[in-house]
Amino acid sequence: MAPHTETDLRRAIESDEIVPYFQPIVELRSGLLTGFEVLARWQHPRHGTVAPDEFIPVAEKAGLNGLLLGKLLRSAFAISAHIPSHLTLSVNISLTQLTDRTLTRHIRQAAEQSSFPLNRLVLEITESALVGDTEHAYLIANELKEQGSHLALDDFGTGYSSLRHLQALPFDEIKVDASFVRTMTHTRESRKIAAAIIGLGNSLGLITVAEGVESATHADMLLWLGCQRGQGFLYGRPVPVEGLQELLMIRTIF
């Protein structure tokens, strides 16, 4: 497939081809749903469903990610009227967005449109978003937090100087990267690393969420290591809005 161009993507965003998919996040102990991560998908008229890894970098480079985030938030917030009011929505924030002075206002405006309370919003920030102009990124992250949203440090352990970010920013949650979950069952070293990450999160009073939970073995081990929440194919793949009601039926009635 030819690489997607800036022009393609701009047209796609404007014609609402970028849609939110929702993946369940559950409490490991009970299996109860706590919320969803919103993951972008491109419903391409010719190429079918395109994964975010193929277009988020294009959006970043072309400065289209503000437009993309706005669309995604508006759709997700509008849909949230149909999900129980205790559930959270987690949204990914990228590198250039954390240096955008209008980000806080744009998120607030999108939320107001659908009366979505910002204390149900979790902003997942990857460490790559915290390189470069760190001072500026910290400033904006603090603004988002003051506005009521929760902050999660995404893909924890995979990037640079994560500990410094953890110290400098008012995070509420850390997301243990799937790579640690995947290898955790193989070697003692990997298990020790996963245990240390989860222990660190817990001792800082943060919610610990593991990604890439694919099996009951993963879930059991994570629970044993003290991890609170999980997300992965064991609980459900990301689904479009049409699949959301079914997920809610299975997961909230216990």
Binding site residues, ligand C2E, CB under 6 A: 23, 39-40, 51-53, 56, 72, 92, 94, 124, 154-155, 178, 211-214, 231-233, 238
3-state secondary structure of 116: coil
In this complex, which beta carbon is closest to Ca ion, that of residue 123 or of residue 219? 123
Residue carrying structure tokens 């099996």: 215
Amino acid at 176: V
Which span sits near Ca ion by CB under 5 A: 24-32, 44-52, 67-75, 119-127? Answer: 119-127
The full DSSP string for 19-72 is EEEEEEEEETTT--EEEEEEEEEEEETTTEEEPHHHHHHHHHHHT-HHHHHHHH
Q: Contact between 154 and Ca ion (CB under 5 A)? A: yes
Question: From ligand C2E, Ca ion, none, which one binds at residue 94 (CB under 5 to 8 Å depending on kind)?
Answer: ligand C2E
DSSP-derived letter for residue 95 is G
Question: From Ca ion, ligand C2E, none, which one binds at residue 173 (CB under 5 to 8 Å depending on kind)?
Answer: none
Q: Contact between 124 and Ca ion (CB under 5 A)? A: yes
In this complex, which beta carbon is closest to ligand C2E, that of residue 40 or of residue 110? 40
Question: From ligand C2E, Ca ion, none, which one binds at residue 201 (CB under 5 to 8 Å depending on kind)?
Answer: none
CA–CA separation, 205 and 166 (whole Å): 12
Which span sits near Ca ion by CB under 5 A: 96-104, 138-146, 175-183, 227-235? Answer: 175-183
In this complex, which beta carbon is closest to Ca ion, that of residue 28 or of residue 178? 178
Question: From ligand C2E, Ca ion, none, which one binds at residue 214 (CB under 5 to 8 Å depending on kind)?
Answer: ligand C2E
Q: Contact between 127 and Ca ion (CB under 5 A)? A: no
Smallest distance, Ca ion to C-beta of residue 249, A: 25
In this complex, which beta carbon is closest to ligand C2E, that of residue 35 or of residue 203? 35
Angle at 34 between CA 30 and CA 39, to 5 degrees: 130
Q: Contact between 92 and Ca ion (CB under 5 A)? A: yes
Contacts 24+ apart (CB under 8 A), 250-253: 251/24, 251/26, 251/31, 251/32, 251/33, 252/32, 252/33, 252/84
CA–CA separation, 86 and 36 (whole Å): 11
Residue of 111, 122, 184 whose CA lies nearest to 153: 122
Question: From ligand C2E, Ca ion, none, which one binds at residue 111 (CB under 5 to 8 Å depending on kind)?
Answer: none
Angle at 193 between CA 224 and CA 201, to 5 degrees: 65
Q: Contact between 173 and Ca ion (CB under 5 A)? A: no
Q: Which residues bind Ca ion (CB under 5 A)?
A: 92, 124, 154-155, 175, 177-178
